[in-house]
Amino acid sequence: MRGPVRDAALAAFVAAALALPMLGFRLVDSASGLTLAGRFDLVAWAAGLVFAGRLGLRLLGGLLPSLPALPAPPARLGDMRRHAGWALTAFALVLPFLPFADRNLVDKATLVLIYVMLGWGLNIVVGLAGLLDLGFVAFYAVGAYSYALLSQTFGLSFWVCLPLAGLFAALFGLVLGFPVLRLRGDYIAIVTMGLGEIIRVVLQNWQDVTGGPNGITGIERPSLFGLSFKATAPEGQRTFAEFFGLEFSGDHRVIFLYFLILALALATNLFTLRIRRLPVGRAWEALREDEIACRSLGINPTMVKLSAFALGAMFAGFAGSFFATRQGFISPESFTFHESAVILAIVVLGGMGSQIGIVLAALLLVGLPEWFRELQQFRMLAFGGAMVLIMLWKPAGLLSRRDPTIRLGDAG
């Protein structure tokens, strides 16, 4: 008993010392400049909480030798996961028509799906090819701005711009990736982060084209085979509601956008699942495991990495143009490093390479905080805390078991 108490007291002491300057004093603006106000009760609270928490953890840890282990993975986990995938897809398909699904929920689900798609795109780069990309948001931005600019300058529709946006993002990936990908592991991380920042700074300052910090407003909304979702159709067109003889409702567009991103995300998923079975997909995974072995087998690492980088960028570009069309407004604010970090966190927390893990992580990191929007101020605190805790709890990610893509014979 003495050990845990002493340990907890020590932890509480450290907490008090940490909290003393930052919580114990508060900087207050006053007429005579900055002054200080004391609130030492908060320090006591912090120390008390840490004491109780630490003691509780230690005592619990003593009682239960280990946390209840997760149920042992069934032998046919691969099958189970495939069923789970189908079940999730089916659920996603009927979600907007369920009784409890209001506009708000569908909107949030759309947001989560954007991150799922971005996660699946980044998964090609990080999870499959093993390249740590901290600037993924750059391609997302390229996609969004490509659509916004093409649509506003040339009046092209969303459906024409979507592939173009993906193409531009992929091109960016190729051009930026070429010098970068000859570098060793962690340098790629810092350089991609730098590139992400460069693109953001350019977007922010190239006033004539990108509108600078004000961004681009009034971006064209998508239509379904020429049927628009507005209340009244422009000259020579019909609205969705008219065509199907429905009463006009703003919900139609929300639901349409939801299905649009669902289709895009599923396409990304399908692409990833299939390409893993192609030579290039196998080369990505081989490269991740051992670059030297790959080189001796005649794989050109730069080209293989570049293909992963460009394909990942392409999906980010698709997601970006969807983002632009959904918001109707984009500005550099939406493409900060923070976004890259969130997407990377989704991939890593999901267990790199696991498609369903990414869905879970996106629900956890994007969906859950959306729910607590009222607690705005503590939302980010909890978000960061969750990132740390999940990593401490499962360092390899939520669903880290990875089935080999190829087996010899019937083994397994």
Partner 1 sequence: MEYFLQQMINGLTLGSIYGLIAIGYTMVYSILGMINFAHGTIYMLGAFISLIAYLAATTIGGAPVVVALMVALFATMAFTALWGWTMERVAYRPLRQAPRLAPLISAIGVSIVLQNFVAQAQGARVKPLPPVIQGGFTLMDGDGFSVNLSWMQIIVIVMTLALMAGFSWMIAHTRLGRAQRACEQDMKMASLLGIDIDRVVSTTFVIGAALAGVAGLMVTLYYGVIDFYIGFLAGIKAFTAAVLGGIGSLPGAMLGGLLIGLIEALWSAYFSIEYKDVATFGILIMVLVFRPTGLLGRPDVEKI
Does 6 engage in binding with partner 1 (CB under 8 A)? no
- Compare residues 170 and 349 and give the one whose CB is closer to partner 1: 349
Question: Interacting stretch for partner 1, rule CB under 8 A, among 11-19, 57-65, 74-82, 85-93?
Answer: 11-19
- CA–CA distance from 17 to each of 5, 35, 109 (Å)? 18, 21, 42
Which one among 6, 10, 22, 93 touches partner 1, defined by CB under 8 A? 22
Determine contact, residues 3/59, Cβ cutoff 8 Å: no
- Compare residues 261 and 345 and give the one whose CB is closer to partner 1: 345
User: Smallest Cα–Cα separation from 273: which of 127, 140, 134?
Assistant: 127
- Compare residues 267 and 382 and give the one whose CB is closer to partner 1: 382
- Compare residues 166 and 332 and give the one whose CB is closer to partner 1: 332
Q: Integer distance in angstroms from the first to the last C-alpha of the chain?
A: 48
CA–chain centroid gap for 308, Å, is 18
Which one among 2, 29, 69, 404 touches partner 1, defined by CB under 8 A? 29
What is the distance between the alpha carbons of residues 108 and 48, in angstroms, rounded to a whole number? 37
What is the distance between the alpha carbons of residues 140 and 127, in angstroms, rounded to a whole number? 18
Collect all residues with Cβ–Cβ distance below 8 Å to 393 and sequence separation of at least 6.
Answer: none
Tell me the number of residues near partner 1 by CB under 8 A: 60
* 288-327 residues near partner 1, rule: CB under 8 A: 292
C-beta of 26: minimal distance to partner 1 in Å?
6
Which one among 1, 2, 3, 27 touches partner 1, defined by CB under 8 A? 27
Which one among 348, 360, 366, 399 touches partner 1, defined by CB under 8 A? 348
C-beta of 395: minimal distance to partner 1 in Å?
3
- Compare residues 122 and 330 and give the one whose CB is closer to partner 1: 122
Coarse DSSP helix, strand, coil percentages of the chain, rounded to the nearest 5 percent: 70, 5, 25
Q: DSSP letter string over 249-305?
A: -THHHHHHHHHHHHHHHHHHHHHHHHHTTSHHHHHHHHHHH-HHHHHHTT--HHHHH
* 358-397 residues near partner 1, rule: CB under 8 A: 377-378, 380-381, 383-388, 391-392, 395-396
- Compare residues 36 and 263 and give the one whose CB is closer to partner 1: 36
* 65-124 residues near partner 1, rule: CB under 8 A: none
Angle at 391 between CA 347 and CA 359, to 5 degrees: 30
* 205-264 residues near partner 1, rule: CB under 8 A: 205
C-beta of 388: minimal distance to partner 1 in Å?
4
Buried b (16+ CB within 10 A) or exposed e, 8-42: beebbeebbeebeeebbeeeeeeeeeeeeeeeeee
β-strand partners of 33: 30
Residues that bind partner 1 (CB under 8 A): 14, 17-18, 20-23, 25-27, 29, 33-36, 126, 132, 179-180, 182-187, 189-191, 193-195, 197-198, 201-202, 204-205, 292, 337-338, 341, 344-345, 348-349, 352, 377-378, 380-381, 383-388, 391-392, 395-396
